[in-house]
A and B are shown apart, each in its own frame.
Chain A
Amino acid sequence: MHNLYIAPTSSTPEVNFQFDQHQLSLRGESYPENAQAFFGPIMQAVQNYLPSLQSTEITVDIQLAYFNSSSTKVLLELFALFNDAAVAGNYVTLNWHYIEDDETILEFGQEVADDFMALDFHPCAMVG
Chain B
Amino acid sequence: MSLTDFHRFKELARQENVVFYYTGYFSQSIVTAMGDSLRLRLSSLDASQTARRKLFSVFVEMAQNVVHYSADHLTASDDADHEIRMGSLWVGEADGHYYVVCANPISPTGASHIRAKLEPLRTMTNDEIKALYKEKLRAEGEAGSKGAGLGFLTVARDSSNPIEFDFVDEAGSNSPFTTFYLKATI
Binding site for B on A (CB under 8 A): 9-11, 31-37, 66, 68-70, 72-74, 76, 99, 101-104, 111, 115, 128
Contacts and interface: CB of A to CB of B under 8 A. Distances in A.
B53 A33 contact: no
Contacts of B147: 35, 68-70, 73
Given A11-B28, A31-B60, A35-B148, A76 B137 contact: yes
Instruction: Bin chain B's interface residue count.
Output: 20 to 34
Contacts, number: 76
Contacts of B61: 68-69
Give the 5 A-B CB pairs with smallest separation, nearest first: A73-B148, A70-B147, A69-B150, A33-B28, A70-B148
Interface stretch (B5-13, B78-86, B111-119): B78-86
Interface string B19-61: 0000000011001100110000000000001100110110011
A11 B147 CA distance: 15
B interface secondary structure, majority: helix
B122 to A, nearest CB: 19
Nearest to A31: B60
Nearest to B139: A73
Interface in B121-171: 134, 137-138, 141, 146-148, 150-151, 153-154, 158
B67 interface: yes
A37 B81 contact: yes
A32 B82 CA distance: 10
B179 interface: no
Contacts of B35: 10-11, 31
B64 interface: yes
A34 B146 contact: yes
A11 B32 contact: yes
A33 B81 contact: yes
Given A68-B57, A72-B137, A34 B80 contact: yes
A35 B148 CA distance: 9
A33 B134 CA distance: 22
